Protein backbone atom coordinates (compact mmCIF):
# COMPACT_ATOMS: atom_id res chain seq x y z
CA UNK A 1 0.00 0.00 0.00
CA UNK A 2 1.50 3.35 -1.04
CA UNK A 3 1.31 6.55 1.01
CA UNK A 4 -1.24 7.92 -1.48
CA UNK A 5 -3.54 4.99 -0.70
CA UNK A 6 -3.58 5.85 3.00
CA UNK A 7 -4.73 8.72 5.16
CA UNK A 8 -4.71 9.52 8.84
CA UNK A 9 -7.35 8.48 11.35
CA UNK A 10 -6.13 10.42 14.31
CA UNK A 11 -2.46 9.47 14.58
CA UNK A 12 -2.94 6.16 12.76
CA UNK A 13 -2.44 5.67 9.03
CA UNK A 14 -5.29 3.67 7.50
CA UNK A 15 -6.61 2.80 4.07
CA UNK A 16 -8.45 5.79 2.60
CA UNK A 17 -11.67 3.81 2.20
CA UNK A 18 -11.42 2.52 5.77
CA UNK A 19 -11.33 6.02 7.27
CA UNK A 20 -14.93 6.75 6.31
CA UNK A 21 -16.09 3.65 8.17
CA UNK A 22 -13.99 4.44 11.23
CA UNK A 23 -15.24 8.03 11.43
CA UNK A 24 -18.81 6.77 11.02
CA UNK A 25 -18.27 4.47 13.98
CA UNK A 26 -17.10 7.37 16.13
CA UNK A 27 -20.20 9.43 15.47
CA UNK A 28 -22.63 6.52 15.68
CA UNK A 29 -21.21 5.99 19.16
CA UNK A 30 -21.57 9.57 20.41
CA UNK A 31 -24.59 10.89 18.47
CA UNK A 32 -27.12 10.80 21.30
CA UNK A 33 -24.82 12.71 23.71
CA UNK A 34 -23.03 14.85 21.14
CA UNK A 35 -24.58 18.19 22.14
CA UNK A 36 -24.09 17.54 25.85
CA UNK A 37 -20.42 16.73 25.27
CA UNK A 38 -19.95 19.89 23.19
CA UNK A 39 -21.28 21.96 26.08
CA UNK A 40 -19.05 20.18 28.59
CA UNK A 41 -15.91 20.26 26.44
CA UNK A 42 -16.16 23.97 25.62
CA UNK A 43 -18.01 25.18 28.75
CA UNK A 44 -20.74 26.29 26.35
CA UNK A 45 -18.51 28.59 24.28
CA UNK A 46 -19.09 26.55 21.11
CA UNK A 47 -22.40 28.41 20.88
CA UNK A 48 -20.55 31.74 20.73
CA UNK A 49 -18.20 30.40 18.05
CA UNK A 50 -21.17 29.30 15.97
CA UNK A 51 -22.91 32.63 16.42
CA UNK A 52 -19.78 34.41 15.19
CA UNK A 53 -19.61 32.16 12.11
CA UNK A 54 -23.25 32.87 11.29
CA UNK A 55 -22.62 36.60 11.56
CA UNK A 56 -19.64 36.29 9.19
CA UNK A 57 -21.84 34.53 6.65
CA UNK A 58 -23.89 37.71 6.08
CA UNK A 59 -26.83 35.47 5.12
CA UNK A 60 -30.06 37.36 4.44
CA UNK A 61 -33.76 36.42 4.41
CA UNK A 62 -34.75 34.36 1.38
CA UNK A 63 -31.30 32.88 0.75
CA UNK A 64 -30.24 29.22 0.53
CA UNK A 65 -27.70 27.74 2.93
CA UNK A 66 -25.96 24.36 2.94
CA UNK A 67 -24.86 23.22 6.41
CA UNK A 68 -22.35 20.43 5.82
CA UNK A 69 -21.52 17.91 8.54
CA UNK A 70 -24.46 19.60 10.20
CA UNK A 71 -24.83 16.91 12.83
CA UNK A 72 -27.43 17.70 15.45
CA UNK A 73 -28.47 20.97 13.82
CA UNK A 74 -27.05 23.82 15.93
CA UNK A 75 -25.95 25.86 12.92
CA UNK A 76 -28.94 24.83 10.82
CA UNK A 77 -31.31 26.16 13.48
CA UNK A 78 -29.55 29.54 13.50
CA UNK A 79 -29.61 29.78 9.70
CA UNK A 80 -33.25 28.64 9.56
CA UNK A 81 -34.31 31.65 11.62
CA UNK A 82 -32.08 33.97 9.61
CA UNK A 83 -33.28 33.00 6.10
CA UNK A 84 -36.94 32.95 7.15
CA UNK A 85 -39.87 31.19 5.49
CA UNK A 86 -38.83 32.23 1.97
CA UNK A 87 -35.33 30.82 2.40
CA UNK A 88 -34.04 27.28 2.71
CA UNK A 89 -31.44 25.48 4.80
CA UNK A 90 -30.16 22.06 3.80
CA UNK A 91 -28.63 20.11 6.68
CA UNK A 92 -26.31 17.48 5.22
CA UNK A 93 -24.31 14.86 7.06
CA UNK A 94 -22.67 11.62 5.98
CA UNK A 95 -23.61 9.96 9.27
CA UNK A 96 -27.17 8.62 9.50
CA UNK A 97 -27.20 8.60 13.32
CA UNK A 98 -26.19 12.25 13.58
CA UNK A 99 -28.66 13.24 10.86
CA UNK A 100 -31.51 11.46 12.64
CA UNK A 101 -30.74 13.16 15.95
CA UNK A 102 -30.51 16.54 14.22
CA UNK A 103 -33.78 16.08 12.33
CA UNK A 104 -35.69 15.05 15.45
CA UNK A 105 -34.36 17.96 17.51
CA UNK A 106 -35.13 20.54 14.84
CA UNK A 107 -38.67 19.22 14.45
CA UNK A 108 -39.12 19.35 18.22
CA UNK A 109 -38.07 23.02 18.11
CA UNK A 110 -40.61 23.80 15.41
CA UNK A 111 -37.99 24.51 12.75
CA UNK A 112 -38.99 22.03 10.07
CA UNK A 113 -40.66 24.43 7.63
CA UNK A 114 -37.62 25.68 5.70
CA UNK A 115 -35.22 22.83 6.55
CA UNK A 116 -34.25 19.85 4.40
CA UNK A 117 -32.14 16.90 5.49
CA UNK A 118 -29.80 15.04 3.14
CA UNK A 119 -27.36 12.23 3.84
CA UNK A 120 -24.37 13.22 1.72
CA UNK A 121 -20.61 12.94 1.46
CA UNK A 122 -18.92 16.36 1.51
CA UNK A 123 -16.48 15.22 -1.19
CA UNK A 124 -19.21 14.45 -3.74
CA UNK A 125 -22.10 16.80 -3.04
CA UNK A 126 -25.36 15.79 -4.79
CA UNK A 127 -26.38 19.35 -5.69
CA UNK A 128 -26.22 21.32 -8.95
CA UNK A 129 -23.62 23.99 -9.57
CA UNK A 130 -24.42 27.48 -8.22
CA UNK A 131 -27.13 26.26 -5.79
CA UNK A 132 -26.39 28.05 -2.52
CA UNK A 133 -25.69 31.54 -1.23
CA UNK A 134 -23.65 30.13 1.65
CA UNK A 135 -21.98 26.81 2.41
CA UNK A 136 -20.67 26.18 5.91
CA UNK A 137 -18.98 23.19 7.51
CA UNK A 138 -18.72 23.34 11.29
CA UNK A 139 -16.28 21.08 13.12
CA UNK A 140 -16.44 18.56 10.31
CA UNK A 141 -13.71 19.21 7.77
CA UNK A 142 -11.04 17.52 9.86
CA UNK A 143 -13.00 14.25 9.59
CA UNK A 144 -13.18 14.38 5.78
CA UNK A 145 -10.76 12.04 4.01
CA UNK A 146 -10.11 14.24 0.96
CA UNK A 147 -10.31 17.82 2.19
CA UNK A 148 -9.29 19.26 -1.18
CA UNK A 149 -12.19 17.46 -2.88
CA UNK A 150 -14.62 18.71 -0.23
CA UNK A 151 -13.48 22.33 -0.60
CA UNK A 152 -13.75 22.07 -4.39
CA UNK A 153 -17.28 20.64 -4.05
CA UNK A 154 -18.26 23.46 -1.70
CA UNK A 155 -16.94 26.01 -4.18
CA UNK A 156 -18.81 24.32 -7.04
CA UNK A 157 -22.25 24.47 -5.41
CA UNK A 158 -21.89 28.11 -4.36
CA UNK A 159 -23.45 30.86 -6.41
CA UNK A 160 -21.08 33.57 -7.68
CA UNK A 161 -20.54 35.90 -4.75
CA UNK A 162 -21.55 33.16 -2.33
CA UNK A 163 -19.63 32.61 0.88
CA UNK A 164 -17.83 29.48 2.04
CA UNK A 165 -17.15 29.19 5.77
CA UNK A 166 -15.14 26.60 7.69
CA UNK A 167 -15.51 26.62 11.48
CA UNK A 168 -12.95 24.26 12.92
CA UNK A 169 -10.49 23.61 15.73
CA UNK A 170 -7.09 25.00 14.82
CA UNK A 171 -3.68 25.87 16.28
CA UNK A 172 -3.29 28.03 19.42
CA UNK A 173 -0.93 30.94 18.92
CA UNK A 174 0.56 30.97 22.41
CA UNK A 175 3.03 28.17 23.36
CA UNK A 176 1.78 28.05 26.96
CA UNK A 177 -1.81 27.80 25.77
CA UNK A 178 -0.74 25.01 23.40
CA UNK A 179 0.73 22.98 26.28
CA UNK A 180 -2.32 23.48 28.48
CA UNK A 181 -4.62 22.60 25.58
CA UNK A 182 -2.68 19.39 24.92
CA UNK A 183 -3.00 18.30 28.54
CA UNK A 184 -6.71 19.07 28.52
CA UNK A 185 -7.31 17.32 25.19
CA UNK A 186 -5.53 14.07 25.99
CA UNK A 187 -6.60 13.70 29.61
CA UNK A 188 -9.86 15.52 30.32
CA UNK A 189 -11.61 14.86 26.99
CA UNK A 190 -11.27 11.05 27.03
CA UNK A 191 -12.25 11.03 30.71
CA UNK A 192 -15.40 13.07 29.99
CA UNK A 193 -16.13 10.91 26.96
CA UNK A 194 -15.99 7.75 29.05
CA UNK A 195 -18.11 9.30 31.82
CA UNK A 196 -20.84 10.79 29.60
CA UNK A 197 -20.95 8.51 26.55
CA UNK A 198 -19.13 5.40 27.77
CA UNK A 199 -16.62 5.92 24.95
CA UNK A 200 -13.19 7.35 25.75
CA UNK A 201 -11.69 6.08 22.47
CA UNK A 202 -13.85 8.32 20.25
CA UNK A 203 -12.83 11.44 22.15
CA UNK A 204 -9.19 10.46 22.04
CA UNK A 205 -9.59 10.22 18.26
CA UNK A 206 -11.22 13.67 18.17
CA UNK A 207 -8.24 15.15 20.04
CA UNK A 208 -5.83 13.47 17.62
CA UNK A 209 -7.82 14.58 14.57
CA UNK A 210 -7.54 18.20 15.68
CA UNK A 211 -3.74 17.91 15.80
CA UNK A 212 -3.66 16.42 12.30
CA UNK A 213 -5.85 19.15 10.79
CA UNK A 214 -4.14 21.85 8.68
CA UNK A 215 -3.18 25.04 10.51
CA UNK A 216 -4.78 28.39 9.77
CA UNK A 217 -2.49 29.48 6.94
CA UNK A 218 -2.47 26.08 5.25
CA UNK A 219 -6.25 25.85 5.25
CA UNK A 220 -6.55 29.40 3.92
CA UNK A 221 -4.28 28.45 1.02
CA UNK A 222 -6.24 25.24 0.39
CA UNK A 223 -9.43 27.29 0.06
CA UNK A 224 -7.72 29.59 -2.44
CA UNK A 225 -6.51 26.56 -4.39
CA UNK A 226 -10.12 25.34 -4.53
CA UNK A 227 -11.06 28.52 -6.43
CA UNK A 228 -12.27 30.75 -3.61
CA UNK A 229 -11.25 34.40 -3.45
CA UNK A 230 -10.54 36.83 -0.59
CA UNK A 231 -9.75 33.91 1.72
CA UNK A 232 -9.18 34.92 5.31
CA UNK A 233 -9.46 33.52 8.81
CA UNK A 234 -10.47 34.74 12.24
CA UNK A 235 -8.94 33.20 15.36
CA UNK A 236 -11.16 32.52 18.36
CA UNK A 237 -10.11 31.45 21.85
CA UNK A 238 -6.49 32.25 21.08
CA UNK A 239 -6.49 30.14 17.92
CA UNK A 240 -7.95 27.00 19.48
CA UNK A 241 -10.77 27.60 17.00
CA UNK A 242 -10.72 29.50 13.71
CA UNK A 243 -13.35 30.56 11.20
CA UNK A 244 -12.15 30.61 7.60
CA UNK A 245 -14.10 32.49 4.94
CA UNK A 246 -13.80 32.62 1.16
CA UNK A 247 -15.94 34.10 -1.61
CA UNK A 248 -16.80 32.46 -4.92
CA UNK A 249 -15.73 34.80 -7.74
Task: Read off the pLDDT of residues 17-75 as tens digits, 9 standing for 90 and up.
Answer: 777 776 666 666 666 666 666 777 888 899 999 999 999 999 999 999 999 999 889 99
The torsion angles phi and psi of 159, rounded to 5 degrees, stand at: -75, 155
In a domain, 121, yes or no: yes
In a domain, 180, yes or no: no
DSSP 8-state assignment for residue 121: -
CA pair distance 145, 56, nearest whole angstrom? 26
233, 244 in Cβ contact below 8 A? yes
The residue range of the domain holding 154 is: 21-173+204-247
Q: Please, what is the average pLDDT of the chain?
A: 89
Instruction: State the CATH number of the domain containing residue 107.
Output: 3.40.50.150
In a domain, 100, yes or no: yes
In a domain, 64, yes or no: yes
**Structurally, how many domains does the chain consist of?**
1
Residue 110 falls in which region: left (phi positive, over 0), alpha (psi -120 to 50) or beta: left
Question: What is the pTM (predicted TM-score) of this model?
Answer: 0.90
Residue 9 falls in which region: left (phi positive, over 0), alpha (psi -120 to 50) or beta: beta
Residue 96: the pLDDT is 87
In a domain, 71, yes or no: yes
In a domain, 51, yes or no: yes
Amino acid sequence: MTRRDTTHFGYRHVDREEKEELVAGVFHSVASRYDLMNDLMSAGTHRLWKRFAVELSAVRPGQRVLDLAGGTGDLAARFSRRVGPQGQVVLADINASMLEVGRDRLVDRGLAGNLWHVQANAETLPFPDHSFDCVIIGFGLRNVTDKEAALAAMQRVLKPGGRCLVLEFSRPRNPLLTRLYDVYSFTALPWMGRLVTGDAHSYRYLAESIRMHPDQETLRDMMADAGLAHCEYFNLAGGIVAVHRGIKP
